[in-house]
Amino acid sequence: MRIGAIPQIYRNVNRWGEILSILSKYGLAGWLSRFDFAIGKSWLKNRDGQIIANETRETRIRLAMEELGPTFIKLGQIMSTRPDIVGSELADELEKLQADVPADATELVAEVIQQELGQTIEEVFAEFSKTPVASASIGQVHRARLQSGEEVAVKVQHHDIEKQVHVDLDILSGLAQLAERLPELRPYRPRATVAEFQRALRRELDFERERRHLEQFEHAFAENPQIKIPRAYADYSTQRVLVMEWMDGTPLSSPEHVRASGIDLKAVTRNGAEMYLEMIFRLGLYHADPHPGNLLLMPDGALGLLDFGMVIRIEERLREDIEDLLMAIVEQDAHHLVAVVMRVGAVPPGLDETSLSLDLSDFLAHYAYQSVDHFELAPALTEMFDLMRRYEIVLPSPMALLLKVLIMLEGTAQKLEPDFSLMEVLEPYQRKVIARRMSPARQLRKARRMVYEVQQLAEVVPRRLRDILQQVQSGRFDVHLDHRGLEPSVNRLVLGMLTSALFIGSVLLVTNVIWPVRGVSVPGTLGVALSAAMGLRLLRAINKSGHLDRRQ
């Protein structure tokens, strides 16, 4: 950890102590599980009374995050979307994280509303339920009625949550720096994961951003009667308070109530899947948390969508890469799939492309004979994530998150319609994707972008060449070489020279009997012994890396 991090450790010493205590507790359970101490194991329990030592590593990570509080729960939820980094087992376990946060007292809620809107609850709302409908990690939701009579949902940020989040984010940065030094944690890319999480959480703390997302989606699906997006009330919304239309519907997290409605669930499921594909492939902007609690079945059979705090925008080039990846899986084209993965992923040096190609071919061959209507996309994508992790290929964050969203979407849909196949809905989009790519408007837009880039290149290259020629002419042209892997060799060379010098000097002291004790030079003898130890250490280091006479 950097020296500059010490002040923030001192600032947040109590929280650091609490976090390290909880992490140590769950780490200790891992050591206890190796021994057959039934009594010792039973001593260590989590806050719900579960015996920690009997749990798997993935479960202990989830339990630790639940005990650490809202910020770490959010981190776990973000990590659950990156099975290419943390692995499918841990990602699946982290999906179980639920932010069951105690609700703020009504007085604190009233204080936040008055600070943000400049009016009391009684002045803004004709009715306001003191009991929240839900309380999550960032805020809580209350049902209310405006003075004008509209039924609304009022989302209010928890009191002082922003301060707590910033403290935890500081600490997470420090922990990520430490974790980066541990070989067993380095493959999880702690610093990159925490940086990604910080960006996502800071965006989620801004309710104004969520309000703009509501307006965008409401406008995009205004002509679709099968999709219902709650209307946002901009006059009553700020960075910490969001007022939106109240929607009476049955959450898909209650499948027994959904089935009791008598509505055609097959049509509802297909409409929901098509809605998401429209977001992804047409809007380039999608709701990134399609768990059943955020989806409502409305009385008229429409599908309502809630909680727009986590919305992801996909720029056009990445969207094309995602389309290529999905189409390669649909078409069972191994060569195309390898090319896409190599193009978009962060590939480690020395990757065995032949082995990767063979594994991807086997992966596609496993699904080659499944009919489209029985093809389950979620298991296929999960297996592909495991393959990426095995080869240490890291997909771009938006792509990994989108693929995880498709897995969640198929899982949610199959709770309502067990025979549902997302691939069957996805297949017709292949024609739409090709038609859109070949459309004159898109080709013209692409040509304009290429002309602009060529123009920029034409302006920059002559100036850069002139600068280089001027530097060569004036004798100021420098070539900087970046060496890799030479540090150990240089260190051994320096150590060898020091060892030789020490040995020769010590021998001279011994032969000239300098500072003798009983006729033997003490400093000379000590120098010879030290040089012998240094020489043995040098030989050991050389033997570890390769013998001197080894031929390449």
Secondary structure (DSSP) of 44-102: -B-TTS-BGGGS-HHHHHHHHHHHH-HHHHHHHHHHTT-HHHH-HHHHHHHTT----PP
pLDDT per residue as tens digits for the range 146-173: 999 999 999 999 888 888 888 888 888 8
CA dist 22 and 71 (Å) reads 15
Structure tokens at 413: 């849909």
pLDDT at 396: 80
- pLDDT at position 3 over 60: no
pLDDT at 36: 44
- pLDDT at position 410 over 90: no
* Of the listed ranges 101-105, 125-129, 429-433, the one predicted with least confidence: 429-433
Q: Quick one: which of 318, 314, 292, 285 has its CA closest to 217?
A: 285
Tell me the mean pLDDT in the region 8-20: 68
pTM: 0.68
Tell me the mean pLDDT in the region 217-245: 92
Residue 352 annotated to the active site: no
- pLDDT at position 484 over 70: no
pLDDT at 100: 61
pLDDT at 486: 65
Residues constituting the chain: 552
Q: How does the average pLDDT of the chain come out, rounded?
A: 79
Handedness of CA 229, 231, 237, 241 (dihedral sign): negative
| Catalytic pick among 84, 104, 168, 289 | 289
pLDDT at 408: 81
Structure tokens at 387: 């393959």
SS3 content of the chain, % helix, strand, coil (to 5): 65, 10, 30
Per cent of the chain over pLDDT 70 is 84
Q: Residues near 374 by Cβ (< 8 Å), separated by ≥ 6?
A: 421
pLDDT at 125: 94
* Of the listed ranges 177-191, 249-263, 456-470, 508-522, the one predicted with least confidence: 177-191
pLDDT per residue as tens digits for the range 313-338: 888 788 888 878 877 877 777 788 88
pLDDT at 31: 41
CA dist 532 and 494 (Å) reads 16
Tell me the mean pLDDT in the region 180-186: 70
pLDDT at 11: 59
Q: Residues near 356 by Cβ (< 8 Å), separated by ≥ 6?
A: 338, 341, 342, 391
- pLDDT at position 1 over 60: no
pLDDT at 30: 44
Q: Please identify which residue in the block is written with the tokens 């080869």.
A: 391
Specify whether the CB–CB gap between 79 and 93 falls below 8 A: no
pLDDT at 481: 65
Tell me the mean pLDDT in the region 23-38: 51
- pLDDT at position 207 over 80: yes
Q: Residues near 292 by Cβ (< 8 Å), separated by ≥ 6?
A: 251, 252, 253, 255, 412, 415
CA dist 478 and 468 (Å) reads 10
Residues β-bridged to residue 188: none
CA dist 377 and 422 (Å) reads 6
536 falls in which pLDDT band (50, 70, 90)?
A: confident
